[in-house]
Structure 1
Amino acid sequence: MWTWFHRLASPPFFFRLAERWAPWLGVAALVLLAWGWIGGLVFAPPDYQQKDAFRIIYVHVPAAAVSLSLYTLMALAGAVAVIWRMKLAECVLVATAPVGASMTVVALVTGMLWGKPMWGTYWVWDARLTSELVLLFLYLGVIGLYRAFDDPRAGARACALLAIVGVVNVPIVKYSVEWWNSLHQGSTIMKLGKPSIALEMAIPLYAAVAGTLLFCGYAILRRVQNELLWRERGTQWVRELRVGEPGR
């Protein structure tokens, strides 16, 4: 039953699997992002209240949603690394952190740009904004903690514990607008039930979210490959890859 799990956890197997699927993820991401951004930034009708200022959601919402998804992935990888001590899970953990941090920065910056015309200020210590900022600090903490160790496996295990503890912030970010009084508007598409947004606006937004997620998947796969090559640089399968490179 667990044969597939152990096979997937094999560094050479995963490296070759990622090499096969990463380009397809990249192409799909570009197609969906083009659809979402062109449809949202050009063809979607203006909002009846926010006018064209609402169009920043086609960058802000995907980045914010994916920043939470990637932290959840990082915490799950950390749990696998702690429980089963899988090297691949450690690589996924440390590879996800910079990508997740980048998405969180995009979410915060675009949120601030959106907040200025809507609230009259770039920043308030609102529950959603503050918890998203905490999410960025958690990502940066994982990145910094990993670099503080000379032994990558020891560093990854320390990062795993931080990621697991920090995952409690994910539902706080998600439900902060419901649990506390907040200037931030409620969810429009990332909720149960009918989206509170017109279909011609929602479809490009769904495409942008899916494209952002696939793009981050592509980036994580490539970073995992690099991490595996560095950690396994003295093994036979990496030497065979180097022999198979053009010009060798």
Structure 2
Amino acid sequence: MHRFANPARFLRIARVATPLALVLGLILTGAGLYIGLFASPPDYQQGESVRIMYVHVPAAWLASGGYLGLAIASATALIWRHPLATIAARAIAPAGAAFAAICLMSGSLWGKPTWGTYWVWDARLTSMLVLLFLYLGYLALSASEGERGGERKGAAILALVGAINLPVIKYSVEWWNTLHQGSSISVLSAKSAMAPEMLRPLLLSVAGFTFLFAAIVLMRMRAMIAEQRVEARSRRLAEAIA
């Protein structure tokens, strides 16, 4: 882990990984969405509206998974002070917030024909809304601490505390009587209640969105490292002139 914390070594890896992740993400996402939107069968209960699933489910997965990555990066920054940990957290946060917003918007569009309304204060929906607010709170606090020249410890602590919401999102449909359906796929048992014609494009979309998420994070990390280097050179130049 420590050897990947070196910015120069990380950049060498990221220069290769970024375009690879981007290309894989575009191919897999395109294939998954094409099959899901045009070739997969409609649901016997929900009809054509089930096709929103091919965007909604990957967005929900990455909103939660992204926050887990944010919390891990924040913990690493607080405990081991890895030089790239804070950068990674700052890169993950806006991407995760975007996917959380996509999840909520697509879920609302799916809820209208399914439940008859765009929004209900359901446990799963409410906890996902809280997740979006946690992302936005992290972004605001990190920007504020950065302007003051701080180490963004407050933002990192907020990210760790907010991780309590992740199991609430995951198990809300089991802990409470909710309108939101339960999970159709069990990762631990490798079983699915979905028809293969629907499962295949869904998995393609999830994989594609995941690679796109990784590409976005890597691009943002590279840009922030470059920005830090420019700022460091500018300070050295100003000190030399003075």
**Do the two structures share a fold, i.e. TM-score over 0.5?**
yes
Residue of 91, 104, 108 corresponding to 1:108: 104
TM-score by length of 2: 0.92
TM-superposition CA deviations, 1:6-55 (whole Å, max 9, x none): 22101111122111110000000011101110111111111111111100
Q: CA deviation at 1:152?
A: 5.3
Residue of 105, 116, 125 corresponding to 1:129: 125
Cα separation, 1, equivalents of 2:90 and 2:104: 22
TM-superposition CA deviations, 1:70-98 (whole Å, max 9, x none): 00000000010000111200000011000
Tell me the equivalent position of 1:56.
52
Tell me the equivalent position of 2:37.
41
Q: CA deviation at 1:189?
A: 2.1
Q: Note the 1:157-236 alignment, pairs <5 A.
A: 157-193=153-189, 194-234=191-231
The residue identity in structure 2 corresponding to 1:196 is A
Q: CA deviation at 1:227?
A: 1.3
Report whether the alignment pairs 1:143 with 2:129. no
2:2–2:82 Cα contact (<8 Å) kept: no
Match of 2:51, SS? Answer: helix
Give the number of equivalent residue pairs.
232
Report whether the alignment pairs 1:27 with 2:20. no
Cα separation, 2, equivalents of 1:42 and 1:87: 46
Tell me the equivalent position of 1:242.
none
Q: Identity, % of aligned pairs?
A: 47
TM-score by length of 1: 0.90
Pair 1:218–1:148, CA change in 2 (3 A): same
The residue identity in structure 2 corresponding to 1:233 is V
Instruction: List structure 1 runs of 4+ shifted beyond 3 angstroms.
Output: 190-193
Match of 1:85, SS? Answer: coil
Cα separation, 2, equivalents of 1:8 and 1:212: 24
1:96–1:220 Cα contact (<8 Å) kept: yes
Cα separation, 1, equivalents of 2:227 and 2:11: 12
Cα separation, 2, equivalents of 1:227 and 1:35: 32
Q: Note the 1:85-96 alignment, pairs <5 A.
A: 85-96=81-92
Aligned-residue RMSD, C-alpha: 1.5
